[in-house]
Structure 1
Amino acid sequence: MTRAHTDTHRTAPPTHNGALGAYGETLAARHLVERGMVLLDRNWRCRDGEIDLLLRDGDVLVACEVKTRTTFACGTPHEAVDVAKVAKLRLVAEQWVRDQAVSPRDIRVDLVAVLRPLRGASVVEHVAGVG
């Protein structure tokens, strides 16, 4: 897996939630790259769905779901990534592998939870291998 990062264009309208999500994805990508992962793609879509971030961690492809919240009033980011969501992310990652003609040793699904409080610094939590 040696494919370089190709940034795709976001198609979401410039809403508060869209801006918050883009902020969280940027923060998550920076966090993971600083820890040694290689960013391969962002917001990759196919007919089966979308993956926020695709990264390489050694010879493992990481399909990363990013959930950004300002509060936990509507639940934690962890609650939003259930078994069905993990299965869908894995399916989309397998399609990305076919489209890019790469051969990772394995595919892992990760979650990055970003809490952006109204005051203070954002908190980033990376959970490797959810589901």
Structure 2
Amino acid sequence: MAAKDEFGRAGEERAAQHLEALGYEILERNWRCAQGEIDLIAARGDLLCVIEVKTRRSDRFGHPFEAVDERKRRRLWRLAFAWAEAHPDIARGRPLRLEAIGLTGAEPADARLEHLDDLR
């Protein structure tokens, strides 16, 4: 695995730990379909949360949340509905919500973590 990919995976692990500490249940990691990939899918109460994780070594090329633009949000919604269709027993009757976690720092383990819990 390339160093960049390992860095991203470490960021996703830190994000999952953060979510679990808040009471989320991680249902799936790196779910893939023909349309793309969802980093994390979690349940929090009745909500199903689709979480995009962006890990950056610095803000040099912009804040991590800048990468979750309108186009990316539309794609995440399509993926969220595809996941729900593939998992009807889990998703039926539960609202979906998009979230994002941004990590900025040289090492994901101690990077600054920011969590947007309702992307619109």
Corresponding residue number in structure 1 for 2:76 = 89
CA RMSD of aligned residues (A): 1.4
Aligned-residue identity in percent? 35
Corresponding residue number in structure 1 for 2:105 = 116
> Which residue of the other structure, out of 17, 26, 36, is the alignment partner of 1:30?
17
| Partners of 1:71 and 1:115 in 2: CA distance | 6
When you count helix as a share of all residues, which structure comes out higher? 2
After TM superposition, which residue ranges in structure 1, 4 or more long, deviate above 2 angstroms? none
Describe the SS at the equivalent of 2:110: coil
Q: Deviations over 1:18-62 (max 9, x none)?
A: 011000000000000110011000000111111000001111110
> Which residue of the other structure, out of 63, 70, 89, is the alignment partner of 2:50?
63
Q: Quick check: 1:127 aligned with 2:119?
A: no
Structure 2 spans left out of the alignment, 5+ residues: none
TM-score, L = length of structure 2 = 0.91
TM-score, L = length of structure 1 = 0.84
8 Å Cα contact 1:61/1:104 also seen in 2: no
8 Å Cα contact 1:60/1:105 also seen in 2: yes
How many residues align? The count is: 117
Give how far 1:104 is off. Answer: 4.4
